[in-house]
Amino acid sequence: MTHLRLLLVDDFALVRSALRRHLGTLALFSRLELTVTDFGDPREALASFQPSAFDGALLDVDLNIYVMSGVELAQALRQADPDLPIAFVTATPEALGPSELATLGDCLVLTKPWSVEGLAEFLKRLAPRE
């Protein structure tokens, strides 16, 4: 069984909880073992981040918790780990302009309310990194 480690950052506990449930169900049906480490504060997520400790990151691009946007968090994570697969969950996909996405490389953008298919696509992109 493949074990995946996912970093989840969203400022709303209810959204984090719902995403954890959906991801857990998808992992079960995909025969994956999934460990989700979630944070409500992007500063805490960044402070605890270690390169190669996660197989991917699912970030709320709408994060504007007075300190750091989701895009800024993604840029910092990619600086620490350039190969980290990232997916954004957003209610405003237009907030992710081509210039922001170009600086981040390959990212998946999921629109709120997210679809099970979108989350499944992200899990498929997460291959254990050696």
The count of domains in the chain is 1
Does the residue 112 lie in any domain?
no
CB 93 within 8 A of CB 100: no
Domain range enclosing 44: 2-91
Q: pLDDT band at 130, cuts 50/70/90?
A: very low
- % of the chain exceeding 70 in pLDDT: 93
Does the residue 104 lie in any domain?
no
Does the residue 87 lie in any domain?
yes
Separation of alpha carbons 61 and 80, rounded Å: 19
Does the residue 12 lie in any domain?
yes
Does the residue 34 lie in any domain?
yes
For the chain, the average pLDDT equals 87
Instruction: Print burial letters for 55-87: b (CB count within 10 Å at least 16), e (below 16).
Output: bbbbbbbbbebeebbbbebbbebbeebeebbbb
CATH number of the domain enclosing 14? 3.40.50.2300
For residue 93, the 8-state DSSP code is G
Does the residue 19 lie in any domain?
yes
Comparing 98 with 20, the larger pLDDT belongs to 20
Does the residue 127 lie in any domain?
no
Does the residue 123 lie in any domain?
no
Alpha helices in the chain (DSSP H): 13-29, 42-48, 70-80, 98-104, 116-125
What is the model's pLDDT at position 65?
56
What are the helix and strand counts (H, E) for the chain? 5, 5
Question: What type of residue is 110?
Answer: L
21-30, 63-72, 79-88, 92-101: least confidently modelled range: 63-72
Predicted TM-score of the model (pTM)? 0.90
**9-64 pLDDT, tens per residue?**
998 899 999 999 999 999 988 888 999 999 999 999 999 999 889 999 999 877 55
For residue 63, the 8-state DSSP code is -
Rounded to an integer, what is the distance from CA 99 to the centroid of its chain? 19
Quick check: helix, strand or coil at residue 52?
A: coil
